[in-house]
Structure 1
């Protein structure tokens, strides 16, 4: 019986409109045609019985290794079949004559069998395939997909099967039929492979990092580029929905959307290694376009890849990843007030303006700043999107720093003074109401707990890394929220110790220690986090420290950007430089 893959074993191929996930055995277990947040037709990842898949089988097939071609999204997986070499190369064309999933099979000493079960609506509907007369193409009319193969296909027990005889090469392409295309031939397939390598070579040249952990950082940059929806420039939080933060638990959410906080933090990390500014311009353009498209006074916490507001969530009758339910599509967090999300937009905009010397989309940025200045006194849902509203300390502190940062670019002295004065009021509120009895930054006004999100106070220069408040906060985090150099966040509505270590926060702590001058500690934290990076350089949201497994949606761009920031902070600290924003 086919089994769900481990999250650790997953790899991503992408055309920067959508992506497919496959494991070390070459099984595609997740694919949403046309865009990242569309309905899946391969969804084994979320239901072992109902979910569709693309399986590649051979007698005595053993995994050896896998790697991307340079910094591209072209993945080749090496095996042995009966002791002899065999490989599969997977990619998705970009700006080419057709779109879809391409698979190329080397010759093998034994027969290679492809088994495909295509099930729309996340596996909840059947899709009857229509075989061509020569059986070399199979149409799935209800979802506008067609499979073209090098060898004839047959229908066997509700699965589509095509076999490649021993000592023959083969190929297959699952094509989106919504777009007219020329006949699919092996020559066209080879052209698409050459073309896609050039496309990714150009993309890789836009963002280049050199320094400590060079391969790991460039792998993280690739992950962020793979999860960018090229049409609008929106960067999604992850390629998946409902992969659990707790195995068998209910904390399962849809992350296939553009979270403004996440993208702001991602932009802040990318600006450090960018010479062109394309990602940064896309971020500001997406933010401005989303406000205008939805005629909003302030930003929603997240949008679809096409800048639409997602206001609801639907639970699906699926078994879930390792029986973790509910499985849901959509997300209800757009109804929340998340002041830190807007604040991080100001921080990112300031970094972009500083780096490239252009005040792009200023009207929208100004609108965000004024909204924060007028609404900072309100309770909000905080960075972790809690249902209960509080005066969360990070929401206040990020808002103060965002207003201080963006005041540099104000249209007039009066506008700058208004933002700075508001920031002073916020700082006073934090000082008077948001400290624990031990003098640490509290989770919220009146709390005696601390949260890992306060680690960002150091790189954003809200306070000095050796200030009394920051030292007390770090001490509390080390005492109550740390194990083996990995860190947990604080949640009001769930015991966070039951979930995995929070990897983004772990890397925030590494960045704090790098700025504070404790380089051995920063390196130790980075190494602890890297233990939960898979063989292709991907992170999921959390680290299952007891089991050694990845937890949460995959790959998590938020974590990749935090890792980039931490490493860049370490790099600068090693050179005697300060990575803080001032």
Structure 2
């Protein structure tokens, strides 16, 4: 299956990818960052999957999300009939629960069922045992329970069978998770679960305050962000997957099942501007808890529950998506110094105040601590927003975001009466800005450069106008945008940079970075280039799959999605760019 052939379902604790052919090839239970029990996505069917598909090989499949929901409906047409499979994860269930409901629409359709559970990263073979009307698949501390309306047999540590469904008939398959030493999960009521799950999503979607021609695209993007948000903690993960390659057959395969501080301001702004103040406040609260670390120990990413451990390792037993290896779990970027995260977090907290979110009593104290530490390290080189693995450099965008951190704190103190050394912070912000304009700008080239005193280029230089450090119409910004168009655009889509010239420490190349396309569309809008902004935005909308999801990157030659999927920063970028194109542009700047 291509990456774009997958759709997402979830319950605010974890998420699953459902393929167009009826196979669930990825599921981590019970949490987003738990070991996958279905890992066929980055391996083979032997690494775990749950497939319900017509036996007829020429069956035609179409699908959609039920309007305003995260409930997936796949319709299978065969020579003998038509049936639908409805997939969802129950939002209100006490135990993690995924339900697949097969319904006959016309004639008869024969379905093959294959449930292969492989706990421990697609590796551990479970003991399958029938207990009354239920099946239990258990290994070590993990257990999955299946409640099904049809007869299944154990075949080589898998459950399987064939079932014929006629018009008007229905068969439900409910899998639930519990620790093997805990009580069994309750038997799900599929009918009530579907009713309640649809009701939840439709009420939630009606809260969307966005209007205009892009409202539907915004709604689907926001539902996706909600699916990637922890119902317990408010943390929002970057993607539900690990090691989907940035280049097919390549080694740029990373685990994105964590919350990045980098995404803070972009995400909060999208939520609050669309009326999702509760989600924005919970994301803000998660950020405040994250920065409660000692400032010297601040990480760039955390688990959704705030956990710090992200030790990176490779799973040699997994073959990789289309052979792209290694398959990694954990992410060593957690240990990097990325100065930009200070700006993104403090800009998000300033936005939260500007938009009137309920105050957090601890936030200002923690912000002061962060700034005190930042004052001692801001001149140091770092690994930067792109998390290079080749060493530390004085990246221009890192210093831009240092300015954003100080400027945000300064404006928070002035606007909301917080105690702060205002004169000192004003001088500091001005010093950082002057430093960027002196060392991040190349007079002979007439544009900004990727790192101080260099001559390279990367797409994060768009943060200069997006933060408001310089006006988008400034000639230096205009020249930088022109250079980006000349050097970093391919088939109209932007790349982050051009390896190996950028020297990021990784082999090979990568795809176009979808989120940056939305940043560029916003900058076009800020420059008054409305036709260019709309053309690029429509081009990016065209990259979505048939159910409105976006991946991290796009392979312009193969014309396929690549990278982890779906990618929160791309979905958030869609929302912010759509609002910018529909509005007056007054709230396009992170700090202003």
Alignment TM-score, normalising by the size of structure 1: 0.93
Matches within 5 A, 1:289-368: 289-292=289-292, 294-297=293-296, 299-317=298-316, 318-356=318-356, 358-360=358-360, 361-368=363-370
Corresponding residue for residue 114 of structure 1 = 113
Q: Give the Cα–Cα distance (whole angstroms) in 2 for the partners of residues 298 and 345 of structure 1.
A: 15
Q: Give the Cα–Cα distance (whole angstroms) in 1 for the partners of residues 157 and 357 of structure 2.
A: 59
Which secondary structure does the structure 1 equivalent of 2:446 belong to? coil
Corresponding residue for residue 176 of structure 1 = 177
Residues 67-118 of structure 1 show CA distances to partners (whole Å, capped at 9, x for unaligned) of 1122211111111132522100011112235431101001260322211111
Structure 2 gaps, min length 5: none
Q: Give the Cα–Cα distance (whole angstroms) in 2 for the partners of residues 401 and 459 of structure 1.
A: 10
Q: Is the 8 A contact 1:82 1:109 kept in 2?
A: no
Which one of 536, 548, 551 corresponds to residue 540 of structure 1? 551
Name the CA shift for 1:201/1:373 in 2 (closer, same or farther; >3 Å). Answer: farther
Q: Give the Cα–Cα distance (whole angstroms) in 1 for the partners of residues 433 and 291 of structure 2.
A: 28
**Deviation at residue 296 of structure 1 after TM alignment:** 4.7
Which secondary structure does the structure 2 equivalent of 1:234 belong to? coil
Corresponding residue for residue 285 of structure 1 = 285
Q: Give the Cα–Cα distance (whole angstroms) in 1 for the partners of residues 219 and 423 of structure 2.
A: 41
> What's the Cα RMSD here?
2.1
Name the CA shift for 1:211/1:459 in 2 (closer, same or farther; >3 Å). Answer: farther
Q: Give the Cα–Cα distance (whole angstroms) in 2 for the partners of residues 57 and 94 of structure 1.
A: 25
**Deviation at residue 202 of structure 1 after TM alignment:** 3.2
Which secondary structure does the structure 2 equivalent of 1:419 belong to? helix
Q: Give the Cα–Cα distance (whole angstroms) in 2 for the partners of residues 358 and 418 of structure 1.
A: 28
Q: Give the Cα–Cα distance (whole angstroms) in 1 for the partners of residues 384 and 586 of structure 2.
A: 32
Corresponding residue for residue 392 of structure 1 = 395
Which secondary structure does the structure 2 equivalent of 1:342 belong to? helix
Q: Is the 8 A contact 1:397 1:427 kept in 2?
A: yes
Matches within 5 A, 1:27-426: 27-48=23-44, 50-60=46-56, 62-107=59-104, 109-133=108-132, 136-140=134-138, 142=140, 143-167=142-166, 168-178=169-179, 184=187, 188-274=189-275, 276-292=276-292, 294-297=293-296, 299-317=298-316, 318-356=318-356, 358-360=358-360, 361-387=363-389, 388-410=391-413, 415-426=421-432
Residues 355-390 of structure 1 show CA distances to partners (whole Å, capped at 9, x for unaligned) of 116543222233233332332111111100112211
Q: Give the Cα–Cα distance (whole angstroms) in 1 for the partners of residues 294 and 411 of structure 2.
A: 27
**Deviation at residue 494 of structure 1 after TM alignment:** 5.9
Corresponding residue for residue 472 of structure 1 = 479
Which one of 509, 517, 521 corresponds to residue 498 of structure 1? 509
Q: Give the Cα–Cα distance (whole angstroms) in 1 for the partners of residues 273 and 369 of structure 2.
A: 26
Q: Give the Cα–Cα distance (whole angstroms) in 2 for the partners of residues 386 and 404 of structure 1.
A: 26
**Deviation at residue 311 of structure 1 after TM alignment:** 4.3
Corresponding residue for residue 17 of structure 2 = 21
Name the CA shift for 1:386/1:488 in 2 (closer, same or farther; >3 Å). Answer: same
Which secondary structure does the structure 2 equivalent of 1:477 belong to? helix
**Deviation at residue 488 of structure 1 after TM alignment:** 0.8
Which one of 545, 560, 563 corresponds to residue 549 of structure 1? 560
**Deviation at residue 455 of structure 1 after TM alignment:** 1.4
Which one of 573, 584, 592 corresponds to residue 562 of structure 1? 573
Which secondary structure does the structure 2 equivalent of 1:85 belong to? strand
Q: Give the Cα–Cα distance (whole angstroms) in 2 for the partners of residues 73 and 412 of structure 1.
A: 41
Q: Give the Cα–Cα distance (whole angstroms) in 2 for the partners of residues 133 and 221 of structure 1.
A: 42
Q: Is the 8 A contact 1:277 1:356 kept in 2?
A: no
Q: Is the 8 A contact 1:269 1:561 kept in 2?
A: yes
**Deviation at residue 171 of structure 1 after TM alignment:** 0.8
- Matched residue pairs, number? 571
Name the CA shift for 1:164/1:412 in 2 (closer, same or farther; >3 Å). Answer: closer
Residues 501-552 of structure 1 show CA distances to partners (whole Å, capped at 9, x for unaligned) of 1111111000000111111100111122122210111111111100110010
Q: Give the Cα–Cα distance (whole angstroms) in 2 for the partners of residues 409 and 140 of structure 1.
A: 53
**Deviation at residue 169 of structure 1 after TM alignment:** 1.9
Q: Is the 8 A contact 2:12 2:231 kept in 1?
A: yes
Q: Is the 8 A contact 2:400 2:463 kept in 1?
A: no
**Deviation at residue 328 of structure 1 after TM alignment:** 1.0
Name the CA shift for 1:416/1:44 in 2 (closer, same or farther; >3 Å). Answer: same
Corresponding residue for residue 458 of structure 1 = 465
